[in-house]
Amino acid sequence: MKVVATLLAFFFLLLGLAYGLGYVNAFTSGAHSHHFTHLVVCWVLALLCLVWARFQGAPARR
């Protein structure tokens, strides 16, 4: 699961970058512009995935 979480974090990081640079316009109101809100949401999701990965790294509680 740690690998999945890290890969998801990387995916959201790149997706946010693509939204921010205007390369991706899916689920946006205006095409071909910088989507700051989408960038922030994607990067927050990337951060949460990293937190998830961090929790996966710890030994299981008994």
Partner 1 sequence: MTLAQALFLAVLQGVSELFPISSLGHTILVPAVLGWHNIDRTDPTFLAFVVVLHLGTAIALLVFYRDEWIAIVKALVASVARGKLDPANREESIGWRLVVGTIPVGILGVILEAPVRHLFASPAVAAAFLAVNGGIMFLGEYLRRRERTALDRPDIPIEGMSYGQSVLVGLAQSAALLPGISRSGASIVAGLLCDLDHESAARYSFLLATPVILAASLLEIPKLFAPGAHLVAFEAVAGGVLAAIAAYCSVAFLTRYFKNNDLRPFGWYCLIAGTVCFVLARMGVIS
Is residue 42 classed exposed, middle or buried when 0-12, 13-18 and 19+ CB atoms within 10 A define those classes? buried
- How far is Cα 39 from Cα 10, in angstroms, rounded to an integer? 13
Asked if 4 touches partner 1 (CB under 8 A), the answer is no
- How far is Cα 25 from Cα 43, in angstroms, rounded to an integer? 16
Q: Which of 1, 4, 7, 51 binds partner 1 (CB under 8 A)?
A: 51
Asked if 10 touches partner 1 (CB under 8 A), the answer is no
Asked if 45 touches partner 1 (CB under 8 A), the answer is yes
What are the residues binding partner 1 (CB under 8 A)? 27-29, 36-38, 40-41, 44-45, 48, 51, 54-55, 57-59, 61
